[in-house]
Each structure stands twice: as C-alpha cells, then as structure tokens.
Amino acid sequence: MEKMRNHIMKVLKPREIVGELDKYIIGQDQAKRSVAIALRNRWRRQQVSPDLRDEIAPKNIIMIGPTGVGKTEIARRLAKLAKSPFLKIEATKFTEIGYVGRDVESMIRDLTELAVNMTKKEEQEEVKEKARELAEERLLDILLPKKKEEPHEADEGDREKVLEVVRTDKVESNSTRDKLRRMLRDGKMDNRYVELETANRNVPMVEIFSSSGIEEMEFNVKEVFGNIFPGKTKRRRVKVLEAREILAQEESQKLIDIDKVIETAVRITEQNGIIFLDELDKVAGSDSGHGPDVSREGVQRDLLPIVEGSTVITKYGMVKTDHILFIAAGAFNVSKPSDLLPELQGRFPIRVELYSLSQEDFIRILTEPKNALITQYKALLDTEGLDLRFDESAIKEIASIASRVNEIMENIGARRLYTVMEKLLDEISFDAPDMETKTFIIDKKYVTEKLEDIMEDENLSRYIL
C-alpha cells in the first residue's frame, strides 16, 4: 500500500499534477504550480538518504485570495490525487487553551482517524473476495442448517449400517448445498428472507465539557463503557441480498489485522497527511484586546508547535506532525500575512495569491471542468428523461449576471454561479417529471426572463441571489 502511494507520486511530475488539477479547476496557475511542487517534494524526500530525510521539512503554503476562487478545491483535489488523508478545518474553530472551544491538537486526532478509516477500507478491499466466500458459506449454513447427529448404541454390524446411512445423508446434503450455492450465485434467492444475528452494542452517550483534550477524554470514556457493558446481539430479518453484504462486512473485519492497520495509518498520517487550515486571516493579529478577539494570538501560539513539528497523543498512539503538509488560506482583506506571529510566518515559506474570477472565468467554469455545473444539471435532469441544452448565448448571460451580482453585493466568487443556476432552473427542476417535451433548450431570452426582474430589484436580489 505504501509502495502504491510512492509509485503514484513518482509517476506524476509537477506538470502532470497541474494537468490533473486543470481538469477540475479553472485558472489559478501559480497556486497549482506551488501545490504540485509541494506534492512532488514529498516523493523526493522519500528518495533521500535516511540521515537527511528527517531533516527536510515540508514546504507549507499560504493561499491568499477572496472566497470562492478555488483555494479549498485545489487542496482537496491535491489530496485525492495523492491518496492522502486530508482534513479541512477552519482556524476560527480553535481557541487558546483556557477558553471554551476546540484545542488545536484535535486536528491531528481527526486526521489520524481519517487515515485509519482509509487504511481499513483499503485492507478490506484486499480481502473482499475471501470475505465474500466466507459470507456465502455462513449464508448457506443459515439456509441449510446441519442435521444434529443422534448418539447410537449398537453392535458392530449396526454401527456399519449407521455409518452407511450417515454417509449417504452427507452426500445428499452436499448435493443440496451445491444446488443452493448455484441458486445463490445466480441471484435466484435474493428476495428470500433470512434471520441474522448482528452485534448491538448500546454504549451510553456521555458528553464531556473541558477546556482542552475534550475529544481524547470522550474516546476514553466510550472505551471504558464499551468494556463494562458486554456486547449484545439482536436478530434481524433481512433479504438474502442484504444478508450477503452484512456477513461479508463482518468477515472482512475479522480477516484484517487491526494492529497493522493502525500502524500503517499512523505512518501515512505522519508522512502523507495534508491539513487545509482555512480562515487563517481570522486569527491574525488584532488591535482588540478583549471580547471574542482576545484569544486570536493565543491560537497562533498553540498552532505553532503543531506546524513546527511536535508529538500529539491520540487514541491510536503518538503521532508526529513534523512532515504533515499544512496548506493555509485566507482572504487577508483586513489583516495581512505579516500580522501573523513571525515564527508562524516562517513555517509557511510559500505564499501564493489567487486572483478574483472574471466573467470569462465563469463561462469556463460552467462548461470546461469534468464536474462543470452545466454537466451536473444536465445529468440530474436526464434521470427524468429530459434532455436539457444550453445555448452559448445563455451561458454568457448566466456568467454575466453572476459577475454583476458579485460586483453589486459581496463577492463570493464561483459560488455565485450555484445560486444563479438554482434560481434559473427552479421551475424546470420542479416540472421535469411531468413535462411532455423531452428536449428543453435554454437560451438568452429564457435566462433574461427568469433573472432580469430579480436583478432590477436590488433588495430582492440580495435575498434570492
């Protein structure tokens, strides 16, 4: 599994990483270049001699730009590309130790939990076939219960007769079992109901209120109660098709080595983990010395050791943060990166500015990416048998309206396209199942009719768009 990750990073050169990001994100070339280099550097570090490898720190990045320009999407796609555990979290969720709120170490615990789940899923995938075979045998045992052998007291001759009878029954039983197996595999028994015994552990819900370590205390309490209250089983009546999946899941859990999973997950967290720290500008220095701003600098001080490299206690053991890649982001329209603590600034050596999106960018966002908005809406309405088509003039008008609304009101970048598209297609989405016409063309006139009145009434547009 680790070899596979390294292989992916080795194959993808920075130019190829940018090419993959281009499939989903329009523009922001400099930001893509920076994250591509940071990802490639991870593979490069693995090739360096061990004595120097641990000395090479990750090149953390700060993305500076308004909302809705692609900061989060770049980080998320990068993590997906690298098959790395990825956590997005807002810096404003944290507070300085001593105040009510989450402590910064919780992000490492969350990241480790994600890595464990990822690794467990991959391990289960590897034993999937074996688990399905075992589940099939268990299901056959339920469908064809074994006959209980009755004790016999007989002489030698009678014993031979009894043995002969048992042997014949066994042959018949195997024959019936094979027939059932074939029917099961052909799906002929999928709608038949069977009774299963499944685990039913009801652990009492306990909430802990604490200034720090809240998550770890919660885990410990759950584990203690989990051990005190014995596991119970309950009988469920389910269809054979569902029963196969339930049993296969149970068997795959038994087949994997959980200690190996945890060991691998911790290593992946330490070497490949990516944390996207959004809204970093909200905890930058402030002139206010009281109220909600009082702990801002304290959050930075608490973040510093995590970003610099420290050891965090999790329920899976000690996790080092030295080589976790941190990608921070913020609009920085009120504060500046230089308002951060000097030590924290030094841990983010790469600064990238993302530009605001233009009307031309909106046109490209609507049509070019693999997951383009127009592609999504066409696919959704295609499920109703409706062929939705967009005229080129309509696409330009949608982009123009989204751009104007961003200028009039708060600029929320590409997210504005979602609100405009939802309002535009509201009536079609509602009527689609009952429409007799199976082809619907949206042109500039239709867009104008649906959105012009809202655009003219500024107060209304503030609520609707």
pLDDT tens for each residue of 130-179: 988 888 888 888 887 765 554 555 455 554 444 444 444 555 556 888 88
Residue 208's pLDDT band, with cuts at 50, 70 and 90, is: very low
pLDDT at 462: 76
Between 159 and 406, residue with greater pLDDT: 406
Alpha-carbon Rg for the chain in angstroms: 30
The H or E element containing residue 298 is: helix 296-308
- CA–CA separation, 143 and 278 (whole Å): 54
Give the per-residue pLDDT at 234: 74
pLDDT digits (tens, 9 = 90+) for 28-80: 999 999 999 998 998 898 889 988 988 888 889 999 998 889 998 998 898 88
pLDDT of residue 3: 46
pLDDT score at 422: 92
Residue 465 has pLDDT above 60, yes or no: yes
SS3 69: coil
pLDDT-based confidence at 395, cuts 50/70/90?
Answer: very high
37 token code pair: 């280099």
With bands split at pLDDT 50, 70 and 90, how would you rate the model's confidence at 211? very low
- The amino acid sitting at 409 is M
Tell me the C-alpha distance between 431 and 388, whole Å.
13
Backbone angles phi, psi at 431, to 5 degrees: -90, -10
Query: Who contacts 99 (Cβ-Cβ below 8 Å, separation ≥6)?
Result: 211, 294, 295, 298
- List the domain boundaries for the chain: 2-122+260-353, 128-255, 359-464
Helix axes 415-424, 359-367, angle to 10 degrees: 70
Residue-averaged pLDDT of the chain: 81
Q: What is the pLDDT of residues 216-231, one digit of tens each?
A: 555 555 555 555 555 5
Query: In the prediction, which pLDDT does 376 show?
Result: 94
3-state SS assignment for residue 235: strand
pLDDT in tens, 320-365: 999 999 999 998 888 888 888 898 999 999 999 999 999 999 999 9
Pick the CATH number of 2-122+260-353 from 3.40.50.300, 3.40.50.2300, 2.20.25.240, 3.40.50.1970: 3.40.50.300
Cβ neighbours of residue 360 closer than 8 Å, sequence gap 6 or more: 399
Whole-angstrom distance, CA of residue 382 vs CA of residue 405? 29
Same fold, 2-122+260-353 and 359-464: no
Residue 200's pLDDT band (cuts 50, 70, 90): low
> Between 392 and 238, whose confidence is greater?
392
Q: State residue 158's pLDDT score.
A: 52
CATH code 1.10.8.60 for 359-464: yes
pLDDT confidence bin for 206, thresholds 50/70/90: very low
Residues 272-326: pLDDT tens digits?
999 999 988 888 865 444 444 556 778 888 899 999 999 999 999 999 999 999 9
